[in-house]
Structure 1
Amino acid sequence: MSQKVVVIFSGGMDSFTVLNKVVRQGYEVFALSFDYGQRHNKELSYAATACRNLGVHHKIVDISAINQLIGGSSLTSDIAVPEGHYEQESMKQTVVPNRNMILLSMAVGYAVSLEANKVFYGAHSGDHAIYPDCRPEFVHKMNDVCAIANYEAVEIACPYLDVSKIDILADGLKMGLDYSQTWTCYNGREKACGKCGACQERLEAFAKNQQTDPLEYE
């Protein structure tokens, strides 16, 4: 019997690549998506479609009530999404307080209930400048905690922790992945804006890989 694992799957290109990579490694995958009140919850419909196409178990969990406690981000509050590259100071407005610790904690609980011993998520080096909860020191400390938080140790696995979105896309292209099945833009409109940090980094990754992004942009 194959080993069970949980994959936190936003519906974006990083976690989409992780999900496909893990499926190809022969694990029995349980994908987990969260509605935390993000303005770009359009990504959840992309996540559902991708999981159906892969034939993997998938749950979308509504935790939007947490916005009563963790407001102040342009992704969850009535604040304009900043435009520009992730390296810019303004991108800190997109930080949702303690988001990944909250999501990982729930994913670990789900893993324990499934008797799974790994939780995968798509942190990568491009996130390090702005998002503390995507940095190696955070992942290592979470691993320490998740080894002792339950009777069963659960590993936090980040296969792309030390590489960029450019490298993630390159790996996905080698796998023949269809990135039209992913949503990245922080604005959940009909088309991707092309101007927010998420779009800028995505477009840069396609350009560096000499590929055209299959998504439509405004």
Structure 2
Amino acid sequence: MSKPKAISVLSGGLDCTVATSIYSDKYDITAITFNYGQQSFDREVKAAKKVCEKLEMEHIIIDLPWLKEISNSSLTTDDEIPTPTDEDLDNIEVAQQTAKSVWVPARNTVFCSIALAYAEAMGAKIIIVGWDYEEAITFPDNSKEYLDAFNKTIEYGSFDSIQIKAPLINLDKDDIVRTGIEYNAPIEDSYSCYTGSELHCGVCESCKRRRRAFEKLKIEDPTEYEN
């Protein structure tokens, strides 16, 4: 019997790699990586391709040049990407300012709308995303409330019974790493850095949260950092 189909919104990052791995045995997954002009696109695609090879998934790349054109995010412009201190990671005011700097207009809403279109066209049952509790504190489109609202939108906006699945929605980064190990996720192939450097920069917020997760668990971090 063939597996039910699924769509994964896969940037190649830690969170979406773990989330997708959770469903990889039970679903025939097609992964979508979006190019919206982010500095890290080349490295994200490289990571996503490796993850897809390991999990035996089809991989699609979708270009969204218009999203770069309307965005003033430090991820898509020459603006300096914030480099918070370790203490800043738990300072809500500082973290919110960092989030605003890297915010791309309606990014997850755009991604999930496109993923929904693919799910309808391909007869997929679920859309997999890597949203988590730690990032939801500063990114509203990672929250449980956003997840519930988008799933409610799908109920009204689609003939098909499709759900967005966010299995990490209640987890911090260390819990995500622990879950990834449990499901044998190819964490070593994932890429989380905002800068797009060959190695993880080690100083942007995404790198710091990734590194801290392994340190909290007191386990070896397979990630190579420049700093």
Using structure 1 for the length normalisation, give the TM-score.
0.94
Question: Structure 2 unaligned runs (5+)?
Answer: none
CA shift, 1:174, in A, is 1.9
Question: Structure 1 unaligned runs (5+)?
Answer: none
**For the Cα contact (< 8 Å) 2:51–2:186, is it kept in 1?**
no
Using structure 2 for the length normalisation, give the TM-score.
0.91
Counterpart residue number, 1:27: 27
Counterpart residue number, 1:16: 17
CA shift, 1:113, in A, is 0.2
Counterpart residue number, 1:90: 97
Counterpart residue number, 1:129: 137
Percent of counterpart pairs with the same letter? 29
- Report 1 or 2 for greater relative contact order, CA contacts < 8 Å, sequence distance ≥ 6: 2
RMSD (CA atoms): 1.3
**How many angstroms apart in 1 are the aligned matches of 2:138 and 2:128?**
21
Alignment of 1:1-218 (within 5 A): 1-24=2-25, 26-41=26-41, 42-69=43-70, 71-84=71-84, 85-86=88-89, 87=92, 88-91=95-98, 92-218=100-226
**For the Cα contact (< 8 Å) 1:82–1:90, is it kept in 2?**
no
**4+ residue runs of structure 1 moved beyond 3 angstroms?**
none
The structure carrying a bigger helix percent of its residues is 2
One-letter amino acid of the counterpart of residue 120, structure 1: I
SS state of the match for residue 197, structure 2?
A: coil
**How many angstroms apart in 2 are the aligned matches of 1:192 and 1:126?**
20
Tell me the alpha carbon deviations over residues 146-197 of structure 1, each in whole angstroms, 9 at most, x when there is no partner: 1121221321111110111111110111233342201111011122111111
**How many angstroms apart in 2 are the aligned matches of 1:178 and 1:109?**
28
**How many angstroms apart in 1 are the aligned matches of 2:190 and 2:124?**
26
SS state of the match for residue 10, structure 1?
A: coil
**How many angstroms apart in 2 are the aligned matches of 1:34 and 1:58?**
11
